[in-house]
Structure 1
Amino acid sequence: MVKDAAQQETPKIDIAIVSDALLGTWKKERIASRSLASQERFQNTPGQSMQEHREDTLKRLAMLVEEGAIQRAFPKEYGGEDNHGGNLAAFAELVFADPSLQIKSGVQWGLFGSAILHLGTKHHHDLWLRDVLELKIPGAFAMTEIGHGSDVASVATTATYIPETEEFEIHTPFAGAWKEFLGNAALHGQAAVVFAQLITKGVNHGVHAFYVPIRDENLQLLPGVDSFDDGFKGGLNGIDNGRLAFDHVRIPRTNLLNRYGDVDAAGNYSSPIASPGRRFFTMLGTLVQGRVSLDGAAVNAMKLGLATAITYANERRQFPGADGKESLLLDYGLHQRRLLPRLAQTFAMQFAHERLLHVFDEVFSGKNDSDENRESLETLAAALKPLSTWAALDTLQETREACGGAGFIAKNRMVTLRQDLDIYATFEGDNHVLLQLVGKRLLADYAKSFADGGRDAIVNAAKTQIVDRLSRFGLRQAVQDVTSLGQTARAVNELQDPNFQQYLLTDRIETMISEIAQALREGKKAGGAAGQAQAFNDNQAKLIAAARAHGELLQWESFTDALAQFEGDTLTVMTWLRDLFAFSIIERDAAWFLRRGRISGARYDAMEAYVTRLLGRLRLQADDLVKTFGLTKELVRAEIFTGIEAERQAEAMAYVAEKKAAGEWPVSEKTLKK
């Protein structure tokens, strides 16, 4: 068959190749996990009671053990595979079955079990790891306190050493010290890893982790342990979240998870890390996998929402067009602007997540467990997890609205999925706190580049120190000078140049950080430490914006690097998608780029017009692009994803055609008035 001109001009992507690129290095593990998530026995039942959901989720955890689905990251001697990247890749896919199942398994093995593995030593591994893996010891991860939240260093729970009995006494001295929001705390947990201030010989050595039994085999609370059920929540109601309190509970000295700090029988403290601050952050750094896994799960939720909404928009018709026929929703320019930039964002975030997984695997497998790579991992996770979890909430809300009333029906999943993912923006590190950590690290590196220099020295440092740091994540050196940007931004063609896009996004970070650094310097000069602290507080929102810009640059770079896997039509379409991601960032922050002369008003208008053309091109690719996600009806489980709307539309059009052919279709009043 000969193609017409329009067909010849429309590129066609290779769905299989793009799908492989999205599945990434751990394709096998992802597919295996999707196979489980496709099975009804692992899926939640909409509308069931909280009590039923909790019990079903616990049963499903046991089924995951039977399937060998959760052991991958643990040492082979305890039944694992030492497969760290594959473990998190597979874990993220469980969100398709039920976010409660994913998060409860994360509590059991990603937090409770991993804390024993990474903070304990062989003694602890031999005692508890196999039973934790086999779910014989369901456990809680007792870090967060109701009165301290993300400020882990200030937790008020104490672990005071008693040399006479060689025991630690775990105690929550007041209500604000109760451990809160803990999965497995309300009902199912038999032990907890408790984070407390280690006190021995009258000296507080900071936060350490302790293995503390909390219930017996009959799930009755042990003496001195109190629990409170958090009850019904805004989402994730298959998890028994609750509070824990300890009233002078005694545990053996050896229950201290002592990889990074130990106390001998006489009460003498020792640690392989002399600095208390570095010791604290090293301990927390071993638990970074929670942030990594949430990043991947959030992106998968975006895929589910977009696959549903775009499929529906390619079938649902609304309002007659010029030809008298009702138009497909996705043919409307506004609908394209609502969905397609978020589709581009999803691809960028998936490729960035793959990069994050590789760094995670390097560190935890020991392939590259250097201090520098650990810091890179922590910064990457702290930068990407906030962006993806916020984007998931935004995307699920937009896709829900884009499906109208159908999107609000629970059986189409977007409403309930958004409820479940709401907490992702808060746990495993509040998103704003994580971005502040990223911003502080950017500032810390930046501060090394100047001493007594003025603003010129700071601007010069922006061109070297920050970009050098970014390059550690695989980023390329910007090729243009900041002072030349006003002259080089002359046409939208330059905005399509990846070097120019990278430059704009990098320069944004450099300029933001240099301005904040200058404000801190001036604050210190004017008012000492107090003045600098006030300047930091005044610029906190700007610091968060800079950290967010850093995360977006990482995502853009990951997408750009991923393009090397494609060729021909596939490369053309994927490049359009990457460009849409870049332009969407610039459009959103247009005020910043315009105020600082990075682009002119005329060039912005040209870019906006080009985005409209891009959307028209990508509208023709949208169906194939969501097919690259590889999501089956069993994974999506939304009625409007099944083709039912296309059937309804076909039935309606056939009915009208039949009536018109038979001369039975009524004449419109408007026609008569002509």
Structure 2
Amino acid sequence: MTTTTRPDTDDTRTTARSAETLPRDVDEIAPEHPTPGALDAAALEDALLGRWADARRAVRETIRDPQMHRDPLLGMDEHRERVLSQLRVLAENGTMHRAFPAEFGGADDHGGNIAAFADLVFADPSLQIKAGVQWGLFSSAILHLGTTEHHRAWLPGAMDLSIPGAFAMTEIGHGSDVASIGTTATYDKDTQEFVIHTPFKAAWKDYLGNAALHGRAATVFAQLITGGVNHGVHCFYVPIRDEDGNFLAGVGGEDDGLKGGLNGIDNGRLHFTHVRVPRTNLLNRYGDVAEDGTYSSPIASPGRRFFTMLGTLVQGRVSLAQAASGASFLGLQGAITYAEQRRQFNATDPEREELLMDYQNHQRRLIDRLARTYADQFSANELLEKFDQVFSGHDASDEDRQELETLAAAIKPLTTWHALDALQECREATGGMGFMARNRLTQMRADLDIFVTFEGDNTVLLQLVGKRLLTDYSKEFGRLNVGAVSRYVSAEASDALHRVGLHKAVQSVQDRGDERRSANWFKAPEVQRSLLTDRVRTRVADIAGTLSSVRSKPRAEQSAAFNARQHELIEVARMHAELLQWEAFTRAVEALEDTQTRTVLTWLRDLYALRLIEDDLGWFVAHGRVSSQRGRALRGYVNRLAERLRPFALELTQAYGLQPEHLRMEIATDAERERQDEAAAHYAALRASGEAPVDEKVIRDREKASRR
């Protein structure tokens, strides 16, 4: 998996002296003090859009067409039909065909396909996800789980939308636990057919896009049974409707109806009653059944086979990370633009109210989240790079695939959770304007709500990351034989703590009450990396120690011990993901050539890191990683850092490159400035006329003064 860079002895020297030699003010670092408007906008946009910037710009041009936009006045039925018509436009343009083989009109461009797909969120999240169902799930299952015969038989229809399809994996009774699904596919060697059957209602396939109305076929995941042996979950191509839209014999279903969001997608349920499909409808890249019922697979281990098959579908998590980051940028551009125009309360000037963006709390609300959004985007870009390396075949070993799966399981939760948080904060920060449908914040948040539980529930994904952190230290973890690894991790954590000089710096450097010196210590990248790394290492060691104590106990006791530390394991997985994001952010900053742009991005990276440390400050102080003096200085410095970034906030959001047709938000226009200027002109003219009414308080103050 992706791991953090291990500090070496050079880190030790740098960190140990950092508290003594760092400049007293960040301005001393930069040859020129950055000024608003001087950032290299083109370079910053290229960095944010990543390697496939051209693919993203191409799809952004396509969705500038108003016919591709969501109409908020449409009811569910009309919205579904509009999205289907928009999907046909994408099919005609080949917009979502980049990942498919050139033989079928694609470009074998896996990374570019995901990049383009993610930006459909600006047109309508329903369009994006329905496109994902058709080409990212249904078609991709045929591509990645099928063989050449399957590709030639079904990919053309899936790609041109003549065969709309559903991806029938999730069941009512087993969401994230795919291995335990109840649907069966039993081989009948007399007829050389598989019999697809859902034996009880909990096995019904649910929440499936294209299932309620439009789907003509489905890629159905079921337990493959042949000769009385269950070989685990495999995927089958199953026709479900005729050309008139009627269910085929044995197939049934229901419309999920109105949802909390994404109502342009016809989600529904499917069930199967002894539905027969030919033996060749098994997508048999990783497991096959011969005519006589003999099962074979190139992967001997059932567990490894299962995860390999599901691993081919990791692109959903990769794409959601990109789309969620984009939604965060959209919300923040609207909220920050509005805050640069909206005025409220006379704090410094009796004749002009203050800009919202000049209030410290407003800066912390929005700029803090802007920093995290940059971290989201840069880490999502690195995840996309890794995805392309694996799926293009450049780096496609088992280790590479496992690293990709773990990285996706780490980054997808953080980006999707943050999108909901950012959109909600932007809604609140824009008051009643943010609640208006024309500003899209409430609808965008509702549509993205499901992102946190589909393509893998975020909490379950982080548990997978946490287990991987433990297995990185011990291949024995499957048997909970982690005694040795616990001692190893503890030793490594302790050794690393001293080798990076963190403990020494904390204990030996006297802050002498100098708040600025204390704050400067936090600015060193080596300090940030060491603090964020150490809190992961130490917590992993502690959890491993608990598990090692029950390694020889009965299975029930082992399970109970794991369950007792499950919440902490998920928390440490989140912290590990945040460290990965910090590292991605740092690499992106280092790649920038323009000095002023790099300086401002360094401040933004620092804000991201220090907010993480601020949120967990109690742990850092309690464990001796941060002195109490430095802890007291931290919040004040974070406030000043947000204030320093305030003049660049709008530039930093605009760097993402969204055009008015992508934003479609009144709060992202000059409408509020025009209202404020009109009001200011009115009061200025009134004062100039000499006819302005006198405030009662002024009269009372004069009367009091005359009586003295």
Query: Among 533, 539, 554, which residue is 1:506 paired with?
Result: 533
1:425 equivalenced with 2:452 (yes/no) = yes
Instruction: For 1:473-492, list aligned pairs within 5 A.
Output: 480=500, 483-484=503-504, 486-487=506-507, 491-492=518-519
Query: Among 321, 328, 332, which residue is 1:302 paired with?
Result: 328
Instruction: For 1:41-120, list aligned pairs within 5 A.
Output: 41-120=67-146
8 Å contact kept, 2:483–2:551 = no
8 Å contact kept, 1:446–1:461 = no
Larger RCO (CA within 8 A; separation ≥ 6): 2
Query: Among 646, 654, 666, which residue is 2:681 paired with?
Result: 654
Partner of 1:611: 638
Partner of 1:157: 183
Greater mean alpha carbon deviation, residues 611-620 or residues 307-316: 611-620
Deviation at 1:604, TM superposition (A): 1.4
Partner of 1:189: 215
8 Å contact kept, 2:69–2:124 = yes
Partner of 1:289: 315
Deviations 1:257-277 (A, max 9, x none): 000000000000000000000
- How many residue pairs get aligned? The number is 655
Deviation at 1:522, TM superposition (A): 1.4
Partner of 1:443: 470
Deviations 1:309-355 (A, max 9, x none): 00000000000122212000010011011110100001111111110
8 Å contact kept, 1:482–1:507 = no
Deviation at 1:453, TM superposition (A): 4.1
Partner of 2:192: 166
Partner of 1:4: none
Q: Give the SS at the match of 1:199.
A: strand
Instruction: Call closer, same or farther: CA 1:601–1:37 in 2, change over 3 Å.
Output: farther
Counterpart CA distance in 2 for 1:138 and 1:523 is 51
Q: Give the SS at the match of 2:549.
A: helix
Instruction: For 1:378-397, list aligned pairs within 5 A.
Output: 378-397=405-424
Query: Among 317, 325, 328, which residue is 2:343 paired with?
Result: 317
Query: Among 406, 413, 426, which residue is 1:399 paired with?
Result: 426
Task: Flag structure 2 segments of 5+ consecutive residues without an equivalent.
Answer: 1-31, 512-517, 702-708
Counterpart CA distance in 1 for 2:290 and 2:690 is 96
Query: Among 179, 202, 224, which residue is 2:228 paired with?
Result: 202
Counterpart CA distance in 2 for 1:514 and 1:366 is 35
Partner of 1:14: 40
Greater mean alpha carbon deviation, residues 515-524 or residues 86-95: 515-524
TM-score, structure 1 normalization: 0.95
Instruction: For 1:240-255, list aligned pairs within 5 A.
Output: 240-255=266-281
Instruction: Call closer, same or farther: CA 1:208–1:332 in 2, change over 3 Å.
Output: same
Query: Among 612, 616, 623, which residue is 1:589 paired with?
Result: 616
Partner of 1:536: 562
8 Å contact kept, 2:347–2:354 = yes
Deviation at 1:460, TM superposition (A): 2.0
8 Å contact kept, 1:479–1:499 = no
Instruction: Call closer, same or farther: CA 1:648–1:454 in 2, change over 3 Å.
Output: closer
8 Å contact kept, 1:223–1:249 = yes
Deviations 1:347-403 (A, max 9, x none): 111111110111000001111111111111101100000000000000000000000
Identity over aligned residues, as a percent? 58
Instruction: Call closer, same or farther: CA 1:481–1:441 in 2, change over 3 Å.
Output: farther
Counterpart CA distance in 2 for 1:299 and 1:173 is 41
Task: Give the aligned residue type for 2:89.
Answer: M
Deviation at 1:428, TM superposition (A): 0.2
1:644 equivalenced with 2:681 (yes/no) = no
Q: Give the SS at the match of 2:344.
A: strand
Task: Give the aligned residue type for 1:221.
Answer: F
Deviation at 1:479, TM superposition (A): 5.6
Query: Among 292, 302, 315, which residue is 1:276 paired with?
Result: 302
Counterpart CA distance in 1 for 2:237 and 2:698 is 80
Instruction: Call closer, same or farther: CA 1:583–1:664 in 2, change over 3 Å.
Output: same
Q: Give the SS at the match of 1:228.
A: strand
1:40 equivalenced with 2:66 (yes/no) = yes
Counterpart CA distance in 2 for 1:239 and 1:461 is 50
Deviation at 1:291, TM superposition (A): 0.3
Greater mean alpha carbon deviation, residues 416-425 or residues 441-450: 441-450
8 Å contact kept, 1:523–1:534 = no
Query: Among 345, 348, 364, which residue is 1:337 paired with?
Result: 364
Partner of 1:459: 490
Q: Give the SS at the match of 1:664.
A: coil
Query: Among 121, 130, 150, which residue is 2:156 paired with?
Result: 130
Deviation at 1:290, TM superposition (A): 0.2
Task: Give the aligned residue type for 1:64.
Answer: L
Instruction: Call closer, same or farther: CA 1:492–1:456 in 2, change over 3 Å.
Output: farther
Task: Flag structure 1 segments of 5+ consecutive residues without an equivalent.
Answer: 1-7, 468-476
Counterpart CA distance in 1 for 2:637 and 2:399 is 41
Partner of 2:389: 362
Instruction: Call closer, same or farther: CA 1:197–1:602 in 2, change over 3 Å.
Output: same
Q: Give the SS at the match of 1:194.
A: strand
Counterpart CA distance in 2 for 1:287 and 1:462 is 35
Q: Give the SS at the match of 1:617.
A: helix
Deviation at 1:595, TM superposition (A): 2.3
Counterpart CA distance in 2 for 1:485 and 1:142 is 56
Deviation at 1:597, TM superposition (A): 2.0
Instruction: Call closer, same or farther: CA 1:50–1:478 in 2, change over 3 Å.
Output: farther
8 Å contact kept, 1:524–1:530 = no
8 Å contact kept, 1:34–1:635 = yes
Deviations 1:542-591 (A, max 9, x none): 01011101110111000100112323111111100000000111111222
8 Å contact kept, 1:447–1:517 = no
Counterpart CA distance in 1 for 2:508 and 2:130 is 52
1:522 equivalenced with 2:553 (yes/no) = no
Partner of 1:474: none
Task: Give the aligned residue type for 2:79.
Answer: H
Instruction: Call closer, same or farther: CA 1:49–1:623 in 2, change over 3 Å.
Output: same
Instruction: Call closer, same or farther: CA 1:483–1:569 in 2, change over 3 Å.
Output: closer
The CA RMSD measured in Å over matched residues stands at 1.7
Instruction: Call closer, same or farther: CA 1:488–1:41 in 2, change over 3 Å.
Output: farther
Partner of 2:17: none
8 Å contact kept, 2:34–2:599 = no
Deviations 1:506-541 (A, max 9, x none): 11111111111001111335x343222111100000
Instruction: Call closer, same or farther: CA 1:455–1:282 in 2, change over 3 Å.
Output: closer
Q: Give the SS at the match of 2:249.
A: coil
8 Å contact kept, 2:101–2:108 = yes
Instruction: Call closer, same or farther: CA 1:621–1:597 in 2, change over 3 Å.
Output: same
Greater mean alpha carbon deviation, residues 631-640 or residues 598-607: 598-607
